[in-house]
Structure 1
Amino acid sequence: MDLDTDTESPMLHPAPTSTRKLKQYCAAISVSLGALCAGTCLAWSSPALAQLSVTANSTESFHLTDSQGAAVGGMIAIGALISAIPAGFLADKFGRKNVIFALSLTFLLNWILIIFAQNVTTLIIGRIFAGIGTGAICVVGPIYIGEIAEKSTRGVLGALINMFLCSGILLTCVFGSFTTWRVLSMILGTVPVIFGGSFLFMPETPVYLVKAKNLEKAEKTLIEFRRSNHDINTELKEIQREVEASQQNAASIRDVFTSKANRRAFMSVVAVLAFQQLCGVNAVVFYTVPIFQAAGSSLRPDLVGIIIGLVQVLSAYVSLLVIEKANRKFYLMLSSVGMLLFLTALGMYFHLKSLNVDISHLSFLPIGSAVMFMVSFSFGYGPIPWLLMGELFAPEIKGVGNGFAIATNWSCAFLVTYFFPIIKSGLGAHVAFYICAGINALATVYVGFVVPETRGKTLLDIQQILNK
């Protein structure tokens, strides 16, 4: 099978560059603070709902029933679905910078509502705002980074989103292990302040400025990002050609499916974002405590969460160091094969346990498989989908395309969240792990045949490849 018809080999040496990259890194880190906000919102419900439960022995002014807790936890997905598609349109109309800065206010409003909440309704409203910010930053963040980064740094900068998302989850697990939910919310409320304050000083992307016909400012922005020793004129003309070519087509939903390049980009990005959720990462996270207990561990659940979060952050950091050492498809396929193997190991362990087979000599297997699964995820399906969002879509469909991709991502997250407990209780956890292993096998084949390679290529080069 042709694993990579669009590039020379799975392993490529990065092209040397003389440009200064500090401004690019500063802008990418500032945007990724939005992903940090998203990570804190995603993880908040775990420590908070445990304290707010009607069974919790606490002095809170109000408590939540199981159904109310499920509503508070699930509202973030509803908010994300609400914002995912409109976020792209808004970024095209008002600019990437304006929309991203507005998201810092959305995250801040979430924490203000939660900190002063006296009933479940206020918590739900706050969580909807958290979801709106989370869904939108996952759309606009990759667009911004993809449009400010030069091709030699686009992989590393794009992977920052995943690392900051994991860091937000870890941060929440750490502080949530020894603070009350209100104090935790106050601490996490400082993150969007830092996010918004830092992003005020970041420029708009040159691609958007060219689309807005502000060539003078686009040139100044390129000089700011690349410095004067870079061939600004050549890159600016390349951006103009890309934008002019894209503007010849109508930016409609229909156009996503009628153009060959857009259709292939859509099929690639949406599928990879779906596989990111269906690969089983949430299944492993949901079952982490039983996995550790099966190995004879007596650690508290919050410590187990911290351990898994730490593994994710460390793996995400290492992936930053190596992500430009090989092609995107290589990491995606390596990731899915690794997850397939370790999910199969987990499934076999719990399958044998359900059959009352003596597996005491395999007590190392569940924890080892869970940890290596998270490592495999963090090297491929953690960061790469966010990179492809910023690389594959043409400018005229980037907003709607990324919106649909994120909506698909959150829909799949909901499906896993909803069906995993049902499958686990009805058929056994091993069946759920086997299903996810099968999905990873499908993902490996799909990426090999359908997804194009983007590493080391300009955005214009990528569009030409998609049209072949």
Structure 2
Amino acid sequence: MSFRDDSEDARDLRKPFLHTGSWYRMGSRQSSILGSSAQVIRDGSVSVLFCVLVVALGPIQFGFTSGYSSPTQDSITSDLNLSVSEFSLFGSLSNVGAMVGAIASGQMAEYIGRKGSLMIAAIPNVIGWLAISFAKDSSFLFMGRLLEGFGVGIISYVVPVYIAEIAPQNMRGGLGSVNQLSVTIGVLLAYVLGLFVNWRILAVLGILPCTLLIPGLFFIPESPRWLAKMGMTEEFETSLQVLRGFDTDISVEVNEIKRSVASTGKRVTIRFADLKRKRYWFPLMVGIGLLVLQQLSGINGILFYSSTIFSNAGISSSNIATVGLGAIQVLATAVTTWLVDKSGRRLLLIISSSVMTLSLILVSIAFFLEKVVSEDSHLYSILGIISVVGLVLMVAGFSLGLGPIPWVIMSEILPVNIKGLAGSLATLANWLTSFVITMTANLLLSWSSGGTFTIYAVVAAFTIAFVAIWVPETKGRTLEEIQSSFR
């Protein structure tokens, strides 16, 4: 498997995606820039924030897809006469579609750009939700879920990469964390709306993020680093000028990006064999390692079966408790968005993994003790409360670092000339691990709740060591500085 940067002829095919809604430069550098939104967005930080808010609609769609199955299980199985195994297949098919989307995401983002990829990803999401909302049997449900997953697989790679490539270095961590914050908001929206509307109307509401994303893409510029890599010098400088503000001197950043692109070489074929070089395999190992450990912590299994876990712990209103868990995720991720550019990536990852380790140990001990304590005793009720508190702390700890930061670091450390291939591999590894965890979590919980959380605690403890030994600090450094350090 390899990818080759495009020729002049291929570039012509990309033009509809490159210039849709972008600002053009005509004539000299000081010429007017077209586009109605360019007249509104004059300040650099406001421009970048607007771009991030537009593409954040993609992760909201991602989160809504993930959260949809939790509040709808009973009603869908009842209305369509599905078995538990059929609904479990429905829930996991989004992971299968996301794996296919992850494989395509890197190549697509390299060939037609970040904006074009997001536009394409939005289409199967819309079709998928419509298929679910009008489903009369399981076949339409499964088809819709696969289509949603495919779009989400592309979104999960492209959005953090786009944000990292447009953000100033002092804001990149916080803006990059908006990706995961949007995912948690999408999950919470699905949980809350699922309390009030039936599953068909909820599926129709799922269309909204992508129907807003598509027109929004017409009002934001393409990634300047991608344009520079493609040799589109005028478009690259115009895009960067819009993002930094029309009164900002961008000459230093322009030269830095040009040097980085020149050193990697534009027309180069990257193959799997090339990834053996240390300047490539080390950042790829860090990126894949963080994204795999993120899922091996068991987070998706815990969130997917949170209602069951709460019921086992003696909580009667398990759906409302699940909504509360989603709210905690949003709040903790919002804290990370504020802290990540102040405290740094490594510190937050170590704190996050430490909190997860301790809370998972607490939950596992509580479940082990419940096996030997009488259900009528006061201690049994206390152990149930302890397990719920531990679970909430685990989710809060995850959201504080291990949830958002691996995506930020992956988008920062992969060199520009291998980002398509390596980014696809890292995203695929994340979704494959998510699929395995989601499929095995229920079996493990049936085997032993205490044993399951012990396994997850061991993974969280290993994550502390992994971050301390191998993960570099990227706070306050440009992408070019980060990537050149691996040479």
Identify the residue that residue 352 of structure 2 maps to in structure 1. Answer: 335
Contact persistence 1:87–1:139 (CA under 8 A): yes
Contact persistence 1:85–1:402 (CA under 8 A): no
Contact persistence 1:21–1:225 (CA under 8 A): yes
Contact persistence 1:291–1:366 (CA under 8 A): no
Contact persistence 1:333–1:447 (CA under 8 A): yes
CA distance in 1, matches of 2:211, 2:266: 40
1:446 equivalent in alignment to 2:466 = yes
Percent identical across equivalent pairs?
Answer: 30
Flag the 1:343–1:375 CA change in 2: closer, same or farther, 3 A.
same
Contact persistence 2:349–2:405 (CA under 8 A): yes
Identify the residue that residue 38 of structure 1 maps to in structure 2. Answer: 62
1:416 equivalent in alignment to 2:437 = yes
What's the CA shift for 1:378?
A: 0.7
Contact persistence 1:247–1:396 (CA under 8 A): yes
Contact persistence 2:44–2:242 (CA under 8 A): no
**What is the TM-score of this pair, normalised by structure 2?**
0.87
Identify the residue that residue 436 of structure 1 maps to in structure 2. Answer: 456
CA distance in 2, matches of 1:94, 1:294: 49
Which one-letter code corresponds to 2:397 in the other structure?
S
Contact persistence 1:249–1:255 (CA under 8 A): no
CA distance in 1, matches of 2:266, 2:334: 40
Among candidates 20, 36, 39, match of residue 44 of structure 2: 20
Which one-letter code corresponds to 2:119 in the other structure?
F
User: In angstroms, what is the RMSD of aligned CA positions?
Assistant: 1.7
Contact persistence 1:452–1:466 (CA under 8 A): no
CA distance in 1, matches of 2:87, 2:310: 25
Which one-letter code corresponds to 1:315 in the other structure?
A
SS in 2 for 1:380: helix
1:388 equivalent in alignment to 2:388 = no
CA distance in 2, matches of 1:436, 1:94: 39
Identify the residue that residue 351 of structure 1 maps to in structure 2. Answer: 368
Among candidates 85, 88, 105, match of residue 70 of structure 1: 88
Deviations 1:275-300 (A, max 9, x none): 1111121243245335534654321x
Gaps spanning 5+ residues in structure 2: where? 1-42
Contact persistence 2:97–2:153 (CA under 8 A): yes
CA distance in 2, matches of 1:396, 1:366: 47
Identify the residue that residue 127 of structure 2 maps to in structure 1. Answer: 109
Contact persistence 2:366–2:384 (CA under 8 A): no
Deviations 1:210-247 (A, max 9, x none): 11211111111111000133331111111111111122
Deviations 1:97-144 (A, max 9, x none): 111111122211111212222221111111111001111111111111
SS in 2 for 1:252: strand
Identify the residue that residue 139 of structure 2 maps to in structure 1. Answer: 121
The alignment covers a number of residue pairs equal to 441
**What is the TM-score of this pair, normalised by structure 1?**
0.90
Identify the residue that residue 336 of structure 2 maps to in structure 1. Answer: 319
Deviations 1:382-426 (A, max 9, x none): 110110121010111111111111111111112212222222222
Gaps spanning 5+ residues in structure 1: where? 1-18
Identify the residue that residue 71 of structure 2 maps to in structure 1. Answer: 47
Flag the 1:33–1:243 CA change in 2: closer, same or farther, 3 A.
same
Which one-letter code corresponds to 1:34 in the other structure?
G
Which one-letter code corresponds to 1:29 in the other structure?
L
1:145 equivalent in alignment to 2:175 = no
What's the CA shift for 1:362?
A: 4.3
CA distance in 1, matches of 2:274, 2:429: 15
What's the CA shift for 1:67?
A: 2.9
Identify the residue that residue 481 of structure 2 maps to in structure 1. Answer: 461
Which one-letter code corresponds to 1:403 in the other structure?
S
